[in-house]
Chains A and B, each alone.
Chain A
Amino acid sequence: MTGNGPFAWWRWQRLFSDFSLILGGFGRTLLVAALALLLALVLGTILGLFSASHSKILHAITRIYVEIFQNTPLVIQIFFYYNALPYAGVVLSSFMIGILGVGVYHGAYVAEVIRAGIGSIPGGQMEAARSQGFTNFQAMVYIILPQTIKIILPPLTNLAVNLIKNTSILAIIAGGDLMYHANSWASNGTLSYGPAYVVAGVLYFILCFPLAVWARRYENKLKNREFVTAETVELISEVIEC
């Protein structure tokens, strides 16, 4: 109880008396993750549509984007925005860097998921749409993309979970997020790293775990039924809101 082990009781007591600090970080993490996910979904959908189009230029743009952001470490990207961009006169707050950096990085993965989803829809669907006079874009929005939801939901969920966890990278640029506050609370005070990291881990888990369960439930529900028009619309808005 009064010992000095990493999980000594007094360390927990100290942590819970300063808990509002941790909660503040938790709120920041939540906000950054939500906005970054929104950005990633918007960017990824646009890029996914690019790669499904017939334009060579749009294909090239998407490929370059995806390969660059998927094949360089997120840390480098974040440090670049934080340390290098200011020399180009662009100074972003660590909050903005969180949204942009994490959003842009995961946008590359969303793009690949959307591309695969579109590719899995039979070609006859696009032909039927075009034979009715829909433009490629209209066909995507009304006919193709809604049919991809069932297929892309599981990978998109994994992606959202990864995105939430990856916001913890903001700790290294003093991002004010959950990981940052947990770590700095411990290092600036009683060195109670044990409880700080456990509590931070539990809070990340609370965010990620229900998301995974929710998506699995929806996936099963959709699998059992082909008809989803109204639900699909709901689902898209829910995915965006995550």
Chain B
Amino acid sequence: MIKLVDVDKYFGSLHVLKNYNLTVGEGEKLVIIGPSGSGKSTAIRCINGLEEPTSGHVYINNEELTHKNHIELVRRHCSMVFQQFNLYPHMSVLRNITLALTKLQKKTKAEADEIAYTYLDLVGLREKADSYPAMLSGGQQQRVAIARALATQRKILLFDEPTSALDPEMVQEVLDVMIKLSEQSITMVVVTHEMGFARQVADRIVFMDDGVIVEEGTPDAFFSNPTNERTRLFLSKILR
């Protein structure tokens, strides 16, 4: 479903992704972990065209992502949830969710509202439909952002450190929503530092360091028996 083939990415002279290869199957829940600066966010951002690889190829459903078609492909297949939520502050919660539905998918306002309420129910925020983002807590904003990403009903959901900007007591409410999502058939690619979540939800875990994939495997194998020294070192620091 998603394929990154021989992807190199430079920011100026900084080599962020080094001959990077990744395949994500349909419906797979993939968790990417690794120290900051390892290129995990860049990798996930290459999947929806927010970053263009310096060289190499990105395929979505066997279609290559290019400068020309990335908007079209993203529109059909991908949604993203950001670390900083990135809700539109000048719009109500409801409008945040329905904007893409009415403007891009040409749904009527009534249809769009109905879909929005369905996903607001899923994240438990129906009563906040008329609130504005600034009136919500961080955890609530992120749950709205997830509802917004889901509402376009695309098959691939990308999460770029969705809980890293949250106060500790709000992390779980967002993770709970993501765990609920993982029972559905959508493909999820999640960059996170939440190891408990990774263990519970991931079909496969990828550990990145310094622009390459160092190790990958099922959560059981990965956490109980990491083979690479760098993985062990990272896990020993993050799991106490």
User: A residues touching B (Cβ–Cβ < 8 Å)?
Assistant: 122, 124-125, 127-128, 130-135, 138, 142-143, 146-147, 226-229, 232
- In Å, the complex CA distance between A143 and B89 comes to 9
Contact assessment for B103 and A131 in the assembled complex, using a CB-CB cutoff below 8 Å: no
- In Å, the complex CA distance between A229 and B50 comes to 27
- In Å, the complex CA distance between A146 and B88 comes to 10
Contact assessment for B89 and A229 in the assembled complex, using a CB-CB cutoff below 8 Å: no
Contact assessment for B90 and A146 in the assembled complex, using a CB-CB cutoff below 8 Å: yes
Q: Given A143-B88, A227-B132, A232-B90, answer yes or no on A134-B82 (Cβ-Cβ < 8 Å).
A: no
The residue in B75, B78, B100, B148 that gathers the most chain A C-beta atoms within 10 A of its C-beta is B100
* B81 (CB) vs chain A CBs: closest residue: A131
Contact assessment for A125 and B88 in the assembled complex, using a CB-CB cutoff below 8 Å: yes
> CB within 8 A of A130: which of B71, B87, B91, B134?
B71
* B152 (CB) vs chain A CBs: closest residue: A132
- State how many angstroms separate the Cβ of A35 from the closest Cβ of chain B: 30
The residue in A124, A131, A134 that gathers the most chain B C-beta atoms within 10 A of its C-beta is A131
Top 3 closest pairs, chain A to chain B, by CB: A133-B75, A128-B86, A131-B80
Q: Which of B37-95 contact A (CB under 8 A)?
A: 48-50, 71-72, 74-75, 78-80, 82, 84, 86-92, 95
| B99 CB within 8 Å of chain A | yes
Contact assessment for A229 and B90 in the assembled complex, using a CB-CB cutoff below 8 Å: yes
- In Å, the complex CA distance between A226 and B79 comes to 25
Contact assessment for A131 and B79 in the assembled complex, using a CB-CB cutoff below 8 Å: yes
> CB within 8 A of A124: which of B78, B86, B134, B148?
B86
* B78 (CB) vs chain A CBs: closest residue: A131
Contact assessment for A147 and B90 in the assembled complex, using a CB-CB cutoff below 8 Å: yes
- In Å, the complex CA distance between A63 and B92 comes to 37
Chosen A-B contacts, 19 in total, with CB atoms closer than 8 Å, are A127-B86, A128-B80, A130-B49, A130-B50, A131-B48, A132-B75, A132-B148, A134-B71, A134-B100, A134-B103, A138-B103, A138-B104, A143-B88, A146-B90, A226-B89, A227-B90, A227-B92, A229-B92, A229-B95
- In Å, the complex CA distance between A132 and B86 comes to 11
User: B residues touching A (Cβ–Cβ < 8 Å)?
Assistant: 48-50, 71-72, 74-75, 78-80, 82, 84, 86-92, 95, 99-100, 103-104, 132-134, 148, 152, 158
Contact assessment for B74 and A133 in the assembled complex, using a CB-CB cutoff below 8 Å: yes
Chain B contacts of A232 at CB under 8 A? 90
Q: Given A142-B99, A226-B134, A229-B95, answer yes or no on A132-B84 (Cβ-Cβ < 8 Å).
A: no
Chain A contacts of B100 at CB under 8 A? 132-134
Contact assessment for A127 and B50 in the assembled complex, using a CB-CB cutoff below 8 Å: yes
Contact assessment for B104 and A132 in the assembled complex, using a CB-CB cutoff below 8 Å: yes
- State how many angstroms separate the Cβ of A21 from the closest Cβ of chain B: 47
Chain A contacts of B104 at CB under 8 A? 132-134, 138
> CB within 8 A of B103: which of A142, A147, A228?
A142
- State how many angstroms separate the Cβ of A77 from the closest Cβ of chain B: 37
- In Å, the complex CA distance between A124 and B160 comes to 12
Chain B contacts of A132 at CB under 8 A? 74-75, 79, 99-100, 104, 148, 152
Contact assessment for B82 and A128 in the assembled complex, using a CB-CB cutoff below 8 Å: yes
Chain B contacts of A146 at CB under 8 A? 90
Contact assessment for A229 and B91 in the assembled complex, using a CB-CB cutoff below 8 Å: yes
Contact assessment for A133 and B71 in the assembled complex, using a CB-CB cutoff below 8 Å: yes
- State how many angstroms separate the Cβ of B106 from the closest Cβ of chain A: 13
* A222 (CB) vs chain B CBs: closest residue: B90
Chain B contacts of A229 at CB under 8 A? 90-92, 95
Give 7 A-B pairs besides A130-B74, A132-B100, A138-B104 with Cβ atoms closer than 8 angstroms.
A124-B86, A125-B88, A128-B82, A130-B49, A134-B71, A226-B90, A227-B132
- State how many angstroms separate the Cβ of A126 from the closest Cβ of chain B: 9
- State how many angstroms separate the Cβ of A12 from the closest Cβ of chain B: 51
